[in-house]
Structure 1
Amino acid sequence: MALLDEVKSELSEIDGEMAAAQKAQATAMLRFGGGLRKTEKGIIVQAQFDSLEAARWLQHAIKHQYGHDSILNAVDRQTPNGPVRRYLITIDRGGVALALQCGLLDRHTHQVVGGLPKEITSGNIAQVKTIWRGAFLAHGALSDPGKASYLEVVCPTDETVIDLTSAARRLGISAQARQLRSSRRVTLKDPDAIERMLILMGAPRSAREWTGKRSDGEARGKANRLANFDDANMRRSAKAAAEACEKVRHAFAILGDDVPENLRAAGQLRLDHGDASLEELGRLANPPITKDAVAGRIRRLLQLADKVQRAQQES
């Protein structure tokens, strides 16, 4: 099971909360999962979810908190990534009454409310937590561990963006509103804030798993970066050593037997141990010398060869 599915499954298992909190969650799920559709016969309330457990939770809440029956259907649709299954809750009988009870319709004007009703946005902290829980169950997403961290909810209206960011602020969490193509989103990117929000919504088990996998992913990412860095350094060192060997051979060809013994010995060490570092060459010398001494002798050997070559060209 994917981690996002595990989070939504854990959130859907929560039971036994006060009626006000359950109603706040049901209202958020209806608002973020779909909303109201007007027909000739009245209003149909619908909400769609990617989690069967979430859809069943809402169906149960609508029956026991508001006294309305609902229909649960599985809906398959094609996407660019292949077929996906969604779960659709429909209330076609008593839709107006339910919308008024949830606060999705204004009691005086019967106009659709753009955001969430003030009774729950200004309610107690338990209600504020369930606003986020309901919104996340309806249209939430969570990054896979090891990737750039985010937790976000797609919002149906500008008003719901404001309500959700305000709810996060009441929970002590900073959430960012952003527009991605045609969708409005409220996003958390700080890993600590994401972990805290998962816990506040009621998914501590998933929060621990997400944090643990994220840490493992970061460790693997760091190890890969270090390995790549080391590999790049090794390639550069090998290339430099090969170039140094070629220069030494060229110097020996120009100088012939007319090479000071200490410079010849340093150059021969370079040729005999092409992959060795200067420090390793110094230890292989007889007697051992420092890497700076090795580098200096090879440098003087090449300079001497250049000097002799220029003299030959001028004569």
Structure 2
Amino acid sequence: MALLDDVKSELAAIDNELPAAKKAQAATMIRFGGGLHLVQRHIVVEAQFDSFASAQWLQNAIKEIYGHSSDLIEVSRQAPAGDAVRYSVRVLRAGGALALQTGLLDRRKRPVRGLPSDIISGNIAQIKAAWRGAFLAHGELSDPGKASYLEIVCPGSEAALALVGAARRLGINAKARQVRSSERVTLRDPDAIERMLNLIGAPKSAREWTGKRNDGESRGKANRLANFDDANMRRSAKAAVEASEKVVEAFRLLGDSIPDNLRAAGQLRLDHRDASLEELGRLADPPVTKDAIAGRIRRLLQLAAKVEKQRAQ
């Protein structure tokens, strides 16, 4: 959650965009943050955010770009994890005028169900701004070390499809999906997530997210290797104990008829029951490879098995 707050703070601090891009961001923030409401035949514009910086950016944009005053209200609501605080930006008296100015009402004064056409057909700066606005309004980002995702909760299927099309114009493959009756647009590929964060204006957060994700993957790989090594050690120890028991039985069956090199290999196994084959090879006189010591022990056991079979017959 801390990283998500950092991303939104970084995005809300951007103040060097051209007017068209600022308008695209403001309109998208309103659309994805709440939208238009009809109160006593008057249109009210309201958008809620989990980030104060996001709400403050929209309030300033409404005043600077469109010339309307708005109210910024802190709203507290109950949630399973405790009280959740959200920040609501409301435009009451000039709501209808703002809705027309942002393109959220079409020329026939009907609400736009996706995103305004001026944004969809706009330049790349407007497309980036629209994605930035959607993320500020309802964006989510996975914690490093967990399954990677960047997700936008959308107000409807039309808005989700508009966002997918905007991502395609940026060269990024995003997917729309429905989760518990809510429409979402999701990025899963870590490289695509990093690129999107850079494109919408959060390069610092992108580096931090990628760095922490790589650290988490490295730790996970190290743990898997450690577990693998531990399992190998247990298997080797078990095999050594079983081999020692078989060597004891081979000595009993063969008695004095064991070739000297096979007897020496078997005795090494008995004298160093916890040692690996490689270690036994180094202890041999003269030293031999682990394949050589393994071969001698194997021939000793095969010889014992042959004698036991002959006796049985």
Give the drift of 1:84.
Answer: 2.3
Partner AA of 2:271 in structure 1: D
SS in structure 2 at match of 1:76 = strand
SS in structure 1 at match of 2:73 = strand
SS in structure 1 at match of 2:192 = helix
Q: Distance in 1 between matches of 2:241 and 2:275?
A: 11
Partner AA of 1:301 in structure 2: L
Partner AA of 1:216 in structure 2: D
Give the drift of 1:184.
Answer: 1.6
Give the drift of 1:170.
Answer: 1.8
The equivalent of 2:94 in structure 1 is: 94
The equivalent of 2:79 in structure 1 is: 79
SS in structure 1 at match of 2:111 = coil
- Bigger shift: 289-298 or 197-206? 289-298
The equivalent of 2:269 in structure 1 is: 270
The equivalent of 2:157 in structure 1 is: 158
Give the drift of 1:132.
Answer: 0.5
Q: Deviations over 1:184-213 (max 9, x none)?
A: 222222323222221221112112222222
- Bigger shift: 256-265 or 169-178? 256-265
The equivalent of 1:45 in structure 2 is: 45
Partner AA of 2:50 in structure 1: D
Give the drift of 1:258.
Answer: 5.0
Where does the alignment leave 5 or more consecutive residues of structure 2 unmatched?
none
The equivalent of 1:22 in structure 2 is: 22
Q: Deviations over 1:22-63 (max 9, x none)?
A: 111111001011112222242222211111100111111112
SS in structure 2 at match of 1:300 = helix
Q: Distance in 2 between matches of 1:214 and 1:26?
A: 31
Give the drift of 1:93.
Answer: 2.2
Q: Deviations over 1:293-315 (max 9, x none)?
A: 3222222322333344445555x
The equivalent of 2:66 in structure 1 is: 66
Q: Deviations over 1:258-306 (max 9, x none)?
A: 5443322211111222232222212211222333332222223223333
Give the drift of 1:228.
Answer: 2.2
- Bigger shift: 170-179 or 126-135? 170-179
Counterpart mapping for 1:61-210 below 5 A: 61-108=61-108, 110-210=109-209
The equivalent of 1:292 in structure 2 is: 291
Where does the alignment leave 5 or more consecutive residues of structure 1 unmatched?
none
Q: Distance in 2 between matches of 1:199 and 1:71?
A: 31
Q: Distance in 1 between matches of 2:185 and 2:70?
A: 29
1:240 aligns with 2:239: yes
If the length of structure 1 is used for normalisation, what is the TM-score? 0.91
Give the drift of 1:142.
Answer: 1.5
Question: What is the identity percentage for the equivalent residue pairs of Structure 1 and Structure 2?
Answer: 70
Task: Label 1:292 to 1:14 Cα distance change in 2 as closer, same or farther (>3 A).
Answer: closer
